[in-house]
Amino acid sequence: MALRIFETDPDAMPKNTFSDDTVGRFHGGKSVDGIPVPLPEWRVTTGDRDVADAISQLMGGTPEETDSTSENFIEIMTERDKVQVVLSGPDAIASDLKLWNGSALIHHCDGVEFLSPDTDRGKACGCPALMEDRKAAAKAKRGPSPSISILFRIAEDYDLGLFRLQTGSWKLAEVLHEIENALNKVGSEALCVLELELVEYTTKKGRDVSYRKPVIRVLKSWSDAIADPTH
């Protein structure tokens, strides 16, 4: 199910952009005392010691067991903000919009129509038409935010298994259509770059802003990459 956030605000579209049998997850941040903290390099979690050791060898960092009750209780704070990955195609990306109240999902839509509950599915969700208003409503906890799930394999160790990145990045949501189009053009498994890209700018009021955003760049088909050892 693809996001439909540009149907109501086409001018906001940037010009020119599933099974879950996973062995681990990639994170662009972590929670410290209940507060989300962004990270400059990827954090990987897994419940498999062999997977943790492999990630440590590939991306640096030391596997450490945490007190997390999640099945992915081993954490590796890697030394890389960029990694080459393999996506099966557009079906490797799932996206929708969600608003939570604690553990309760109180709004679930694709930007135009409700996706759940079943009694409301297909009905107009009432979200703002303009992208700016969508973001403002989400920031004020009055509207849903992107919920994007990406499944991939690590190119350097393809057989290690599937990993998942779950993100609420508006920046990524705005270019998902470009990524999906690029994956469609490849038409098979695609070699991509998954990166925490540094963004820096100064506001009109003179305030310096710096943050990392998740980025996916589609390079070429995986079969072509295998045939070309210089990839």
For the cut 80, the answer to whether the pLDDT of residue 221 exceeds it is yes
Place of tokens 């770059």: 193
Give the range among 42-46, 108-112, 138-142, 200-204 with minimum mean pLDDT: 200-204
The confidence score (pLDDT) of residue 13 equals 63
Same domain, 116 and 139: yes
1 in any annotated domain:
no
Looking at the fold, whether 170 and 141 belong to one and the same domain comes out as no
Q: 10 Å Cβ neighbour count for 83? A: 23
- Domain residues for the domain of 120 are 10-16+94-147
Collapsing DSSP to helix, strand or coil, 96 comes out as strand
Strand blocks (E) in 142-207: 145-154, 162-167, 190-202
In a domain, 158, yes or no: yes
- pLDDT band at residue 195 under the 50/70/90 scheme: very high
Residues 87 and 156 in one domain: yes
| pLDDT at residue 16, as a whole number | 43
**pLDDT at res. 18:** 47
**pLDDT tens track for 55-78:** 999 999 999 999 888 899 999 999
Write down the residue that tokens 């305030």 correspond to: 207
**More reliable by pLDDT, 27 or 19:** 27
Two tokens at 129?
């038409």
CA 21, CA 13: separation in Å to the nearest integer?
A: 33
* Residue owning tokens 């903290």: 37
Q: Could you give the CA distance from residue 172 to residue 175 in angstroms, rounded to a whole number?
A: 5
> In this structure, are 174 and 187 located in the same domain?
yes
Q: How many distinct structural domains can be found in the chain?
A: 2
